[in-house]
Amino acid sequence: MRVLILGPQGSGKGTQAARIAEASGTPHVATGDILRAAVADGTALGREVAPILDRGDLVPDELMVGLIRERLAVEDSFVLDGFPRTLAQAEALDAMLDEIDKALDTVLLLEVSDEESTRRLLGRAAAEGRADDTPEAIANRLRLYHELTEPVVERYRQRGSLVEIDGERSMDEVFSAIANALERSQVTG
């Protein structure tokens, strides 16, 4: 199963991606987690991206594409969370999948309003203390989502491969909507 999960910050995409991965025994490839682990380990990559993450800016496309290319070389199936975030990344992903003759089964979009996103992220800031959950970094991340990631959403919508899920419900309700969508795509795909 090759699934892509898109949605703004605070849409619950990380949580849902982890649940889909666990339920289906598919690796969860979360770019934010990979980058934060590199920062925590103090690797060269981590030192390079730490200030970018703190500001809520995007890591350069080339670096992200290289990172995903390495993962796709070893994973046959995946729940991809946090990539692609720009049109250049989406084009690179298409090319990589073409090269290995594989396609995505499902592209999910978790929809939540900016108000709800901001409310959830500020709540998480209090609970988890993530460095990029400051009001400034949150506003920057949402701005970049609208500017650079929404065109990616549009690209998949135009292809007819987007499944839109209302993310403003409880975690369990969202998960069962996703499970239904995945089941349908297995049946039809």
Q: Which residues contact 174 (CB under 8 A, 6 or more apart)?
A: 12, 16, 110, 165, 166, 167
Residue 97, interface with ligand ADP (CB under 6 A)?
A: no
Half-sphere exposure of 48 (CA within 13 A, CB side): 9
Query: Residue 153 interacts with ligand ADP (CB under 6 A)?
Result: no
By CB under 6 A, residue 132 contacts ligand ADP: yes
- Give residue 32's region: left, alpha or beta (phi > 0; psi -120 to 50): alpha
85 binds ligand ADP per the rule CB under 6 A: yes
167 binds ligand ADP (CB under 6 A): no
Q: Are 20 and 94 in contact (CB under 8 A)?
A: no
Least Å from the CB of residue 59 to ligand ADP: 4
Could you give the CA distance from residue 31 to residue 16 in angstroms, rounded to a whole number? Answer: 15
Active-site residue numbers? Answer: 13, 85, 124, 130, 141
In this chain, which stretch among 20-28, 57-65, 153-161, 166-174 interacts with ligand ADP, using CB under 6 A?
Answer: 57-65
Under the binding rule (CB under 6 A), the answer on residue 149 touching ligand ADP is: no
For binding to ligand ADP (CB under 6 A), which residues are involved?
A: 9, 31-32, 35, 52-53, 56-59, 64, 82-83, 85, 89, 132, 141
